[in-house]
């Protein structure tokens, strides 16, 4: 029983990292029908920036964790907006596949750039949470896991509040639903796309910084996470932000349970297993767990 | 006119293949052997991407499957290395079909993201079953030796083997895309709705395209193992799949002959041009450009530039030169009426 | 006095196909003008050319200022509300969110009171998903939303499309009200010439991308030849 709760909590912590990145994928997908392949590498790159803030002396001193964290979020936002404006916007009249290719190119560039600037060797990334555990009823709950979950979910909630209650958030939602109508109401949809990329980059940065302490910082650190995030987003139905979060969390828990209770499933098999789960769910429910089946009338 | 141009082009290619080792160093010949190997892989991947319109980021893994099949058969079971090639192709092809069967339910970009998982899964699987695959240490093959009573330098030997196989596979690809299958592939690329309405099973076609392209990559992988004489899980990372994709776009998706440019790019950018470009850059900016990751940056920037400037790749540019018509990037044709493709 | 909206020799094309071949028309401050014609005559394209949804050649002058190569966002900010074909409501958002979007460009709190005076039933449906409204209700919602923009010119594209005659009459009644009480100028595209001419003061009839005939509604209605040739009744 204790094993169950431990697996549950660690699964939720991992799942929150997937959920954050999954939400980023869905944000951009909803607005543009493009899957941003570079989402993981953007997250990785911004995590390296956090690393630089934490370890390289800037203006005579290094930053402590939380100031570096928030500064990184700001930098990530600008980074995301910038990438959309400079790299993606010129291709706005091209086909979806062209834009997807461009995001693949970004993936490659960011991966290479990170290895070039900081070298590919694994680095240690600090965690703001203590490594001790609470013991409640015999169950060991890691503070690290709790913190990870808390921070990631807090970011998701803040973003939700933004979309739900602000004028700009409403405009972004409207622009995703019907861009032409939105423009006729004066919405500068082009800039809102950039905004979407900015938010997605912030979510990615959170995902990366929460993932790095356990998975170590390396240029490839987010590749597997991207797959898990994608799987989570698809499970939730790629159009649904709620689904993306639920899917990511659910996948994390499911993998954790499988890893604990099913012995042939070793850590190296997590990814193939996730892929398998994804394929199985899609065979049964093609629109994902939360998605609606879109019937296209020809 | 086009087919005459094609025959002339093919003859030129064959002539070039025959002449090249006579005028090159052994090292250059060895590199040109890899051009042939990448050509086989790109032909296969092009069938999936350029002709069927599906982006795959996972085909490096099918090369890996082929490479490991060849290695295991040669090292553990004493097969003759060349005879393993068809088996490598078939096993990879079956793996491609197995992936394609469920995965082609996804539409375009989702499928691409699913394929992103293939190399990562492949590496995980290789490490999980070390008694079979040699685990992280990999396996060593006996180095290439002369066969059939002909004695030649091993670079020359592998050059000839690779190019003969490559030319055969080129003809095979040519025949595949010429006929009904080619039309079915292109109909799926251009408009899935129209294809379905015409009775083409889009999932079936896409799965078949996956299988065929994986078959080609498997054969390329087998040759790769023979040429490099060593495989381990890190030989086929996601970078390779991406490089293949860049090669397709650069050569011109939807054009088989363009793949020669693509293959030249893939081989030489890694070893020769990439570092040369970076050295040039470093002379101006005083940065260490031999650092890891620098080559990836080059690939990515090249890909972006091609996407902005010449999305139809080298083949498209050549075509524009010859006919004055601007080609539309094959895989960007979705929704438009199909323009002609070249072989 | 200069007209509120003036089109001078406006052309537009969709890819290779030219849809408008030099259309000229005017809408005066506070008047209702109908744009009539058969399917494919270019009525919708004319509205799109004004709002910038489609690329145009020729001059569009609004409130004395020439609208350059601008997109829909700019035209909206200039004071033109375009309710497109199909209403353009945000189906997945609630009725209330749709209305809020109408006030997007405006500063300060939106004047929902005023809108609810004309469309009182919206209050009860605030949280209903807009896509689940009936056709007529969606049309009203689109009108309400456009009205929240406080435009000087309202452009309506085929408001009667898919609506029962009774509902259509109601829609046009509201349009007439808005025009009379708020001084809102209206340019309405309609296939239903009869009801359009009953509400509008003037009309233009388009045929294959050109203005074939124009005049006051009374004149057009009373000319039998025009009615049978162009208006179909």
**Domain locations in chain B?**
2-332
Pairing status of strand C5-14 against strand C17-27: antiparallel
| Separation of alpha carbons A47 and A127, rounded Å | 12
Statement: residue C4 has pLDDT above 60: yes
pLDDT at B336: 33
Other Cβ atoms less than 10 A from the Cβ of C89: the count is 24
Measure in Å the smallest separation between the Cα of B270 and chain A Cα atoms: 13
A187 touching chain C per CB within 8 A: yes
CA closest to A107 among chain B residues: B300
Q: How far is CA C200 from CA A79, A108, C175, C204, C206, in A?
A: 53, 60, 10, 11, 16
Pairing status of strand C80-83 against strand A139-142: unpaired
* Structure-model confidence comparison of residues A121 and B108, the more confident one: A121
User: Which SS3 state, helix, strand or coil, does residue B312 take?
Assistant: coil
pLDDT at B5: 67
| Separation of alpha carbons C11 and C13, rounded Å | 7
Question: Hey, are the CB atoms on C93 and A177 less than 8 Å from each other?
Answer: yes
Question: Hey, are the CB atoms on A183 and C71 less than 8 Å from each other?
Answer: yes
Task: Identify how many contiguous H helices and E strands chain C contains and give both numbers.
Answer: 9, 10
C5-231: CATH, from 3.30.1330.10, 3.10.450.50, 3.40.50.300, 2.120.10.70:
3.40.50.300
pLDDT at A60: 66
Statement: residue B334 has pLDDT above 50: no
Measure in Å the smallest separation between the Cα of A187 and chain C Cα atoms: 6
On the CB side of A283, how many CA atoms lie within 13 Å of its CA? 10
Block residue for tokens 């996948």: A251
B116 touching chain A per CB within 8 A: yes
Statement: residue A113 has pLDDT above 80: yes
A185 touching chain C per CB within 8 A: yes
Other Cβ atoms less than 10 A from the Cβ of A143: the count is 15
B142 touching chain A per CB within 8 A: no
| Separation of alpha carbons C96 and C122, rounded Å | 8
pLDDT tens string C121-144? 888 888 999 989 988 899 999 999
**Which residue among A33, A87, A219 places its CB closest to the CB of B304?**
A87
Question: Hey, are the CB atoms on C71 and A177 less than 8 Å from each other?
Answer: no
Query: What are residue C214's DSSP bridge partners?
Result: C204
CA closest to A164 among chain C residues: C97
| Separation of alpha carbons A102 and A87, rounded Å | 8
pLDDT tens string A1-57? 778 888 888 899 999 999 999 999 999 988 887 889 899 999 999 999 999 988 887
- Write out the residues of chain C at the interface with chain A, using a CB-CB cutoff of 8 A: 51, 53, 71-73, 75-77, 81-82, 84, 88-93, 97, 100-102, 104-105, 145, 149
pLDDT tens string A229-278? 988 888 887 788 888 899 999 999 988 888 888 777 677 677 777 777 77
Distance of alpha carbon C102 from the chain centroid? 15
Statement: residue A294 has pLDDT above 60: no
| Separation of alpha carbons A158 and A163, rounded Å | 9
pLDDT tens string B113-166? 778 778 878 887 887 787 777 777 777 777 655 555 555 667 788 888 899 999
Statement: residue B343 has pLDDT above 50: no
C interface mutation test: which of A173, A185, A192, A237 has the most C CBs within 10 A? A185
**Which residue among C88, C91, C92 places its CB closest to the CB of A184?**
C88
CA closest to A173 among chain C residues: C93
| Separation of alpha carbons C178 and C159, rounded Å | 15
A251 touching chain B per CB within 8 A: no
User: In the numeric block, which tokens belong to residue B261?
Assistant: 């440019």
pLDDT at A109: 92
**Which residue among A173, A187, A189 places its CB closest to the CB of C93?**
A173
| Separation of alpha carbons C106 and C103, rounded Å | 5
Write down the ipTM of this complex.
Answer: 0.89
Contact of B31 with B162, CB cutoff 8 Å? no
| Separation of alpha carbons B140 and B143, rounded Å | 9
B282 touching chain A per CB within 8 A: no
**DSSP assignment letter at B270:** I
Question: Hey, are the CB atoms on C97 and A174 less than 8 Å from each other?
Answer: yes
A272 touching chain B per CB within 8 A: yes
Contact of C100 with C110, CB cutoff 8 Å? yes
Q: Where are the alpha helices (DSSP H) in chain B?
A: 2-23, 26-49, 59-77, 84-103, 108-128, 130-133, 154-178, 180-190, 192-197, 202-228, 238-251, 258-268, 274-285, 294-309, 313-323
CA angle A163, A167, A173 (to 5 degrees): 45
Burial group, residue B303, by CB count within 10 angstroms (0-12, 13-18, 19+)? buried
Question: Hey, are the CB atoms on C76 and A184 less than 8 Å from each other?
Answer: yes
A93 touching chain C per CB within 8 A: no
Q: Report which secondary-structure segment, H or E, holds A96.
A: helix A96-118
| Separation of alpha carbons C223 and C213, rounded Å | 12
The string of DSSP letters for B205-245 reads HHHHHHHHHHHHHHHHHHHHHHHH-EE-GGGS-HHHHHHHH
CA angle B120, B42, B328 (to 5 degrees): 110
Measure in Å the smallest separation between the Cα of C222 and chain A Cα atoms: 37
Statement: residue A88 has pLDDT above 50: yes
* A293 — pLDDT class (breaks 50, 70, 90): low
CA angle A98, A91, A181 (to 5 degrees): 110
* Cβ-based contacts of B113 with chain A (< 8 Å): 35, 37, 227, 230
| Separation of alpha carbons A199 and A27, rounded Å | 8
Length of chain A: 298
Question: Hey, are the CB atoms on A37 and B116 less than 8 Å from each other?
Answer: yes
Statement: residue B289 has pLDDT above 60: no
Q: What are phi and psi of A131, to 5 degrees?
A: -85, 0
* Cβ-based contacts of A237 with chain C (< 8 Å): none
Q: Which of A136-150, A183-197, C22-36, C92-106 has the lowest mean pLDDT?
A: A136-150
pLDDT tens string B49-90? 888 878 888 899 999 999 999 888 888 888 887 888 999 999
B103 touching chain A per CB within 8 A: yes
Contact of B69 with B91, CB cutoff 8 Å? yes
What's the whole-number mean pLDDT along residues B316-333? Answer: 63
**DSSP assignment letter at C228:** I
User: In the numeric block, which tokens belong to residue A139?
Assistant: 């169950």
Question: What is the biggest distance separating any 2 CA atoms in chain C, rounded to whole angstroms?
Answer: 52
Measure in Å the smallest separation between the Cα of B57 and chain A Cα atoms: 9
What's the whole-number mean pLDDT along residues C166-172? Answer: 90
* A292 — pLDDT class (breaks 50, 70, 90): low
Contact of B267 with B34, CB cutoff 8 Å? yes
**Which residue among A177, A180, A185 places its CB closest to the CB of C104?**
A185
C and A touch per CB criterion (3+ pairs under 8 A) = yes
* Cβ-based contacts of C81 with chain A (< 8 Å): 184
Q: Report which secondary-structure segment, H or E, holds B289.
A: none
**Subunits adjacent to chain C (3 or more Cβ pairs under 8 Å):** A
* Cβ-based contacts of C82 with chain A (< 8 Å): 184
| Separation of alpha carbons C117 and C106, rounded Å | 19
pLDDT at A207: 95
**Which residue among A170, A177, A183 places its CB closest to the CB of C72?**
A183
* Structure-model confidence comparison of residues B283 and C8, the more confident one: C8
| Separation of alpha carbons A251 and A210, rounded Å | 17
**Which residue among B197, B296, B335 places its CB closest to the CB of A112?**
B296
User: CA nearest C191: which of C21, C44, C28?
Assistant: C44
User: In the numeric block, which tokens belong to residue C118?
Assistant: 């004309």
User: In the numeric block, which tokens belong to residue B81?
Assistant: 């290395």
pLDDT at C46: 92
User: CA nearest B252: which of B300, B205, B320, B185?
Assistant: B320
Q: Which of A197-201, B190-194, B300-304 has the lowest mean pLDDT?
A: B190-194
Other Cβ atoms less than 10 A from the Cβ of C66: the count is 10
What's the whole-number mean pLDDT along residues A60-73? Answer: 87
pLDDT at B108: 63
Query: Average pLDDT over chain B, rounded to whole?
Result: 79
The string of DSSP letters for B35-53 reads HHHHHHHHHHHHHHHTTT-
Distance of alpha carbon B70 from the chain centroid? 18
A282 touching chain B per CB within 8 A: yes
Contact of A204 with A40, CB cutoff 8 Å? yes
pLDDT at B280: 67
User: Which SS3 state, helix, strand or coil, does residue C22 take?
Assistant: strand
* Cβ-based contacts of A122 with chain B (< 8 Å): none
* Cβ-based contacts of B293 with chain A (< 8 Å): 111-117, 120, 219
What's the whole-number mean pLDDT along residues B33-41? Answer: 92
Length of chain B: 343
User: In the numeric block, which tokens belong to residue B52?
Assistant: 């069927």
Question: Hey, are the CB atoms on A182 and C91 less than 8 Å from each other?
Answer: no
* Cβ-based contacts of A185 with chain C (< 8 Å): 76, 101-102, 104-105, 145, 149
A34 touching chain B per CB within 8 A: yes
* A296 — pLDDT class (breaks 50, 70, 90): very low
B interface mutation test: which of A38, A93, A104 has the most B CBs within 10 A? A104
What is the side-by-side strand order in the sheet with C65-66?
C17-27, C5-14, C56-62, C65-66
A and B touch per CB criterion (3+ pairs under 8 A) = yes
Q: How far is CA A260 from CA A39, A251, B116, in A?
A: 29, 14, 26
Q: What are phi and psi of B199, to 5 degrees?
A: 90, 5
Measure in Å the smallest separation between the Cα of A161 and chain C Cα atoms: 15
pLDDT at A185: 93
A97 touching chain B per CB within 8 A: yes
What's the whole-number mean pLDDT along residues B167-196? Answer: 82
Q: How far is CA C85 from CA A50, B303, C47, C142, C208, in A?
A: 49, 40, 10, 11, 19
Question: Hey, are the CB atoms on B125 and A34 less than 8 Å from each other?
Answer: no
């Amino acid at each position: 029983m204790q094993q169950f709760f431990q697996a549950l909590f660690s699964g939720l912590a991992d799942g929150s990292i997937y959920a954050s990145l999954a939400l980023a994928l869905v944000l951009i997908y909803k607005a543009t029908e493009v899957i941003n392949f570079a989402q993981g590498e953007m997250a990785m790159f911004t995590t390296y920036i956090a690393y630089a803030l934490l370890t390289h002396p800037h203006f005579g001193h290094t930053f402590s964790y939380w100031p570096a964290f928030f500064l990184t979020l700001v930098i990530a936002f600008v980074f995301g907006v910038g990438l959309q404006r400079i790299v993606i916007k010129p291709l706005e009249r091209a086909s979806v596949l062209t834009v997807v290719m461009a995001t693949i190119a970004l993936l490659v560039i960011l991966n290479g750039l990170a290895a070039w600037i900081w070298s590919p060797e694994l680095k240690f990334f600090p965690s703001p949470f203590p490594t001790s555990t609470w013991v409640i009823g015999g169950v060991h709950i890691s503070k690290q896991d709790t913190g990870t979950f808390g921070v990631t979910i807090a970011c998701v909630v803040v973003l939700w509040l933004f979309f739900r209650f602000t004028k700009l958030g409403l405009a972004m939602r409207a622009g995703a639903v019907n861009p032409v109508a939105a423009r006729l109401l004066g919405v500068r949809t082009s800039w809102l796309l950039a905004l979407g990329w900015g938010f997605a980059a912030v979510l990615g940065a959170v995902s990366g910084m929460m993932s790095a302490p356990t998975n170590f910082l390396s240029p490839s650190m987010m590749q597997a996470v991207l797959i898990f995030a994608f799987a989570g987003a698809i499970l939730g139905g790629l159009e649904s932000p709620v689904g993306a979060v639920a899917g990511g969390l659910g996948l994390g828990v499911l993998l954790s349970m499988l890893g604990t209770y099913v012995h042939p499933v070793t850590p190296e098999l997590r990814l193939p297993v996730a892929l398998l789960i994804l394929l199985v769910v899609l065979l049964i429910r093609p629109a994902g767990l939360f998605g609606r089946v879109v019937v296209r009338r020809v | 006119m086009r087919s005459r141009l094609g025959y002339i082009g093919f003859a030129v290619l064959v002539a070039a293949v025959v002449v090249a080792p006579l005028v090159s160093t052994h090292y250059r010949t060895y590199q040109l052997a890899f051009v042939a190997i990448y050509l086989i892989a790109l032909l296969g991947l092009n069938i999936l991407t350029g002709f069927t319109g599906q982006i795959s980021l996972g085909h490096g893994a099918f090369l890996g499957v082929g490479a490991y099949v060849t290695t295991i058969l040669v090292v553990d079971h004493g097969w003759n290395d060349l005879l393993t090639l068809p088996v490598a192709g078939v096993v990879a092809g079956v793996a491609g079909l197995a992936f394609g069967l469920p995965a082609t339910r996804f539409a375009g970009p989702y499928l691409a993201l699913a394929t992103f998982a293939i190399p990562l899964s492949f590496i995980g699987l290789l490490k999980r079953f070390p008694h079979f695959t040699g685990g992280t240490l990999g396996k060593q093959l006996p180095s290439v030796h002369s066969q059939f009573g002909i004695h030649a330098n091993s670079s020359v030997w592998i050059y000839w083997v690779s190019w003969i196989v490559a030319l055969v596979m080129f003809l095979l690809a040519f025949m595949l895309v010429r006929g009904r299958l080619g039309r079915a592939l292109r109909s799926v690329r251009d408009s899935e709705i129209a294809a379905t309405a015409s009775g083409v099973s889009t999932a079936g076609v896409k799965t078949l395209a996956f299988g065929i392209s994986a078959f080609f990559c498997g054969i390329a992988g087998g040759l790769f193992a023979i040429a490099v004489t060593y495989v381990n899980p890190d030989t086929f990372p996601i970078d390779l799949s991406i490089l293949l994709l860049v090669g397709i776009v650069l050569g011109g998706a939807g054009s088989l002959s363009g793949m020669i440019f693509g293959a030249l790019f893939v081989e030489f950018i890694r070893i020769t041009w990439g570092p040369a470009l970076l050295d040039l850059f470093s002379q101006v900016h005083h940065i260490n450009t031999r650092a890891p990751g620098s080559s990836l940056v080059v690939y990515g920037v090249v890909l972006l530039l091609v996407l902005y400037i010449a999305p139809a790749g080298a083949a498209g540019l050549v075509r524009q030169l010859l006919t004055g018509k601007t080609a539309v990037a094959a895989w960007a044709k979705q929704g438009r009426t199909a323009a002609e493709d070249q072989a | 006095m200069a007209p509120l909206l003036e089109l001078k020799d406006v052309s537009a094309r969709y890819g290779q196909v030219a849809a408008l071949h030099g259309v000229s028309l005017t809408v005066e401050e506070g008047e209702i003008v109908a744009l009539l014609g058969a399917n494919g005559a270019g009525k919708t394209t004319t509205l799109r050319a004004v709002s910038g949804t489609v690329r145009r050649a020729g001059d569009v002058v609004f409130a004395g200022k020439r609208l350059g190569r601008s997109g829909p966002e700019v035209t909206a900010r200039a004071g033109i509300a375009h309710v497109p074909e199909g209403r353009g409501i945000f189906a997945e958002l609630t009725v209330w969110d749709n209305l809020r979007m109408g006030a997007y460009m405006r500063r300060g709190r939106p004047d929902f009171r005023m809108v609810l005076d004309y469309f009182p039933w919206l209050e009860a449906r605030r949280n209903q998903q807009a896509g689940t409204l009936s056709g007529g209700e969606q049309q009203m919602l689109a009108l309400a939303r456009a009205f929240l923009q406080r435009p000087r010119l309202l452009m309506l594209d085929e408001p009667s499309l898919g609506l029962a005659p009774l509902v259509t009459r109601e829609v046009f009644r509201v349009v007439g009200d808005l025009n009379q009480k708020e001084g809102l100028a209206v340019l309405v595209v309609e296939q239903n010439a009869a009801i359009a001419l009953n509400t509008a003061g003037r009309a233009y009839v388009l045929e294959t991308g050109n203005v074939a005939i124009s005049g006051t509604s009374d004149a057009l209605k009373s000319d039998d030849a025009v009615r049978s040739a162009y208006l179909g009744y």
